[in-house]
Amino acid sequence: MEEKVLEILEEHCEEALDYDGDSMMEDGVIDSFTVINVVSDLEDEFDIEIDAKYVIAENFRNKEAIIELVRKLLEE
C-alpha cells in the first residue's frame, strides 16, 4: 500500500517524496489543486471514499500522514 501511495504522490508532486517537514501546504510543497488530484487517485487505487472531513492540511502535512490516512480508511 505504501508503495502505491508514494507512486501517486510522485506522479502529482515529486517534491513530497523528499520532504521531511510537517506542513507541506505551508511550505509550498503541495497546493489545494494537487491535493484534489492525489485524493482522486487514492480513491481510485484503493477503492475508498475519502470524505471531505479528512481532506485537511493535517492529513496532508507529509507523505507519512497521507499513508496513515489511507491505512486508517482501509481498516474502516
All cell numbers assigned to 55 = 481532506
Contacts of 12 (CB under 8 A, 6+ apart): 34, 37, 38, 41
CB of residue 25 vs other proteins: minimum separation in angstroms?
5
All cell numbers assigned to 9 = 504522490
Which 40-69 residues touch other proteins, going by CB under 8 A? 40, 43-44, 49-52, 55-57
- Contact range with other proteins by CB under 8 A, out of 4-12, 13-21, 36-44, 63-71: 36-44
- By CB under 8 A, residue 76 contacts other proteins: no
- By CB under 8 A, residue 25 contacts other proteins: yes
Per CB under 8 A, residues contacting other proteins are 25-26, 28, 31-33, 35-36, 39-40, 43-44, 49-52, 55-57
